[in-house]
Amino acid sequence: MNQDYNSNGHKWLRAGFALTALLILMISVSFTSSRKLNDELWKQLGISRQEGESKIRNSFLGSYLDHYGAKGALKLAAGSRAQVSRELLQHAKSYLNGADFRTWYENERKQAMPAAPAKPVRSKEDIRKEKIEEMKKGIASSEELIKKMPEMEKDMKPTLEMFRKMLKDYEDPKSETIENYYQAELQQYEYQMASHKEDLVKWEQNFPKDSRLLIARQLKKYLEIAATVDFNAKLEPRYGKMKFVNPAFEGKGSDWKMIYRAGTEVYNVTKPFAEQWLKELQ
């Protein structure tokens, strides 16, 4: 069996929140519920039901665990962890069939949807008009400077001639320069649209239309990681903290380690629950 993971003996939730430490933390899945849990349970966790549900909701889509303030979770007796997990798993699952969750998820999904880039509104003639205006202003400014400072005429002459040449080019209906400006804007839009399509693919993956697909994916992730956890892994004190004797275990990710910290008591409840839940979603 695994030992306490830190020097204070707070193995189960040393770095996490007590709401089904395995399922909700490890697979980054968490849910709110319209069904009231026993008020005494929330008191054990050291937070209100509203605070707990807010933390669960934040963890669900935020890819991080919002556990701040759940100090009571550290005090849960070993014998109560399985029951707490069982109740909270049922609590989470029941919400998935309710309108509140669907409304919340659909709103989150909508807000996360990438905005499409604005289409170019400028025609070639719009661009031509802008460039002609720029050149006329440049010529006028240069001529005004020469009037004020005649000694600058020699130095300014090449610039003034260049401006007049560019103006003539812009005024030409067949100007290649104007065509290039126009094509550049079109290419920029096409590039933005290509990026937008890629963003939409990622959005669909992260926020599938059917939230059950996301839940199923996260359940699979949990089961895959949990299957590799060695609950008999040994720990040893090192620099004031408990570290795995096996360096391969010390290099495992936070998900793996959190399942280890939760221990077999919680795992033996969560694993069959997650498996059955996954079957129902398929």
Which pLDDT value is given to residue 60?
54
Confidence grade of residue 167 (pLDDT, cut at 50, 70, 90): very high
pLDDT digits (tens, 9 = 90+) for 52-75: 666 656 555 544 343 333 444 444
Inter-residue contact 211 to 102 (CB < 8 Å)? yes
Which pLDDT value is given to residue 61?
57
Which pLDDT value is given to residue 168?
96
- Provide CB contacts within 8 A for 112, sequence distance 6+: 203, 206, 207
Q: Pick from 73, 99, 98: which is nearest to 15 by CA?
A: 73
pLDDT digits (tens, 9 = 90+) for 248-265: 999 998 878 888 887 888
What's the CA gap between 201 and 44, in Å, rounded? 42
**How many CB atoms within 10 Å of residue 15?**
15
Q: Pick from 213, 234, 212, 231: which is nearest to 271 by CA?
A: 231
What amino acid occupies position 19?
Answer: L
What average pLDDT does this structure show over 199-213? 91
Inter-residue contact 84 to 74 (CB < 8 Å)? no
**How many CB atoms within 10 Å of residue 230?**
14
What's the CA gap between 11 and 263, in Å, rounded? 8
pTM (2 d.p.) = 0.63
The domain locations on the chain are: 21-113+209-281, 124-203
